[in-house]
Structure formats: structure tokens, C-alpha cells
Structure 1
Amino acid sequence: MKNTFYAVFFLFIGFTGFSQEADAAYKAKAVQLIEINSGATFDVMLKPLVGMVAEENRAAFKKDVEESMTNLFDQLAVVYMESFTEAELDQILDFYATPVGKKMTVELPVITEKSMQIGQMWGMKLQPLMAKYSK
């Protein structure tokens, strides 16, 4: 009986360790996808914030922001893992390794910056409409 208990206990510990390693690999793939999709896009979105920081503090600010992104990406990885299986993440990462996938990562920040400008102009046009219906 005692031997059976130890066998089951060590088997459970082994599976738990394997599961944690598998989860870590799965999460690493999610983080990799986030870095591919978001890395340069975050640079575009942070550009206005960096402009608000004093010139002499910008390098330190950027460094601190980059360090905080590790935690952000870890949290976002959980969201990706809720939406995509590990096999699906593999397929998406395979796409980003193709020439068109690589082009998409290069073009996405440009698209994001232009989209933000268009969105801001659209938002300004909504202000009169909002005023009309707020009365």
C-alpha cells in the first residue's frame, strides 16, 4: 500500500512538472506572437508619450517602459492562450515566418500610425454629433 502511494505520488509530481514545462512553452509561444504583433505597434503608440517626457529623461523612460512590457506581455499571453490552442499559435507563428508574414510585421506599425490619425480625425467629427444628442 505504501509503495503504491509513493508510486502515485511521484507519478503525479512528474506529470505536474511536465505540465508546467508544457505550459511554459505554450506561454512562450503566446509571448512571441505578442512581441511580433505588438512590439513595433507599441513603439508607435508610445511615441506621443515619449514626446511629453523631458529630453534628458527619455532614454530612462523608454528603458523603464520596455522593462514593464515584460509583465504586460506575460499578462496578455494568458488572454492569447484563452483564445488559441498551442497548435494554433504554432500555425500563426509559422505564418509570420513567411515573406508575407514578415512584411506584415514591418507594415503593421505604419498602418497603426495612419489608422490612429484617421481615428482621431473621425473622433473629432463625432464631437458635434455627441453634442447634438447630449442635450
Structure 2
Amino acid sequence: MKKIVLVLSAAAAFAGLPSLAFAADAQTTAAAKNLLEVMDARKTMVASFAEMEKAMPSMMHAQAASMIQNDAGLNAAQKRDAMAKVDKVLPGVAQALNQLFRDPGLVDEMMAEMVPMYADNFTVAEIDQLTAFYATSVGRKMMTLMPKLSAESVALSQKIVLPRVGKLMQQAMQDIQKQ
């Protein structure tokens, strides 16, 4: 059971970002705040979280199923039992994630961390160029589509990368058992 919770937690971990501390001057910070406003970053973030809410249960299920199926130490009955436990626990984990994604404080905290992130990685001139782009119709379209594109990218990664990681993990477990 602990393994299942660990797997589900790991699958959800991509949604969390480390806290970053940057020092930026007032002009760069103001430019970064303006950029985020023009990008409508708060709205995009809320929409991205909504997309994650929809995608996370199936992603977590797929990740757990892959890890269980590729665990050479489990027989067929144990794998069925483990999947039954995942199916029992997953709705509660998904509900907790939904509450997390809907927390306005999460968006506030992310926005507060994004200002220094942009200010630390771009000059005022570069931020002004980004701001000009995101003020265009193509830039606004990009930001409108970003949550959808991000969700589709994650789904593609799950589809393409997850089976390969599963095979690597299976091989690693077989190698460990040989030693």
C-alpha cells in the first residue's frame, strides 16, 4: 500500500515546483509583472490547473499500472491486488489534487514566484520584447491555447515515454535480481 501511495505521489509531483529565490532590481521586477499581466498568466494558470485536474487521474492510474505490471517481484494475483488497491485509493487522491489545484492561494504563490523567475532570467529589454509579442493576436492565442497544448504534451509524453521507462525499469529489476 505504501508503494501505491508513493507511486501516486510521484505521478502528481510534476505539478509542484520548488520555491525559488531571486534578486532582481525594481525595473526588471516591474517589467516582469507587466509581462505576466499582458500574458494573462493568472487566467492561463487556472486553466492549466483545470486541464491537470482532468488528466491527472488517468495519468496516475497509467503510471501506477505500469509500475505494478513491470514489477517482476509480483505474481499475477499480487498485481491484480495491487491494481485493486490503486483503484480504491485513486479517487481520494484525485479529489485531494482537485482541491489543491482549485486553491486560489496556489495561484497567488505561483504568480509571486514567477515574477522573480522572469526578472532573473530576462533583461528588461527582453521582457519588453516578450510583452510586445504577448500583446499581439498570435501571442494572445498562444496563451489561450497554452493549457490545452500543455495537457496534450503531457498526454503525448505519457503515451511515448511511459512504456519506455517501464521497459527500462523492468530490465533494471531483472538485473538487480540477477545479482
**TM-score for the superposition, normalised by structure 2:** 0.49
Structure showing the higher helix proportion among its residues: 1
- What fraction of aligned residue pairs are identical, expressed as a percent? 23
**TM-score for the superposition, normalised by structure 1:** 0.62
Between the aligned partners of 1:26 and 1:36, the Cα distance in structure 2 is: 16
Question: How far has the Cα of 1:108 moved from its partner?
Answer: 1.7
- Structure index of larger Rg: 1
Task: Mark the runs of 5 or more structure 1 residues left unpaired by the alignment.
Answer: 1-18
Question: How far has the Cα of 1:132 moved from its partner?
Answer: 1.6
Alignment of 1:1-135 (within 5 A): 20=26, 22=27, 25-32=30-37, 33=39, 35=41, 38-39=44-45, 40-48=47-55, 52-53=94-95, 61=99, 65-126=103-164, 127-134=166-173, 135=175
Equivalent AA in structure 2 for residue 132 of structure 1: Q
Between the aligned partners of 1:26 and 1:113, the Cα distance in structure 2 is: 28
Between the aligned partners of 1:123 and 1:46, the Cα distance in structure 2 is: 21
Equivalent AA in structure 2 for residue 35 of structure 1: A
Question: How far has the Cα of 1:92 moved from its partner?
Answer: 0.6
Between the aligned partners of 2:115 and 2:36, the Cα distance in structure 1 is: 5
Count of paired positions: 111
Cα-Cα RMSD: 3.2
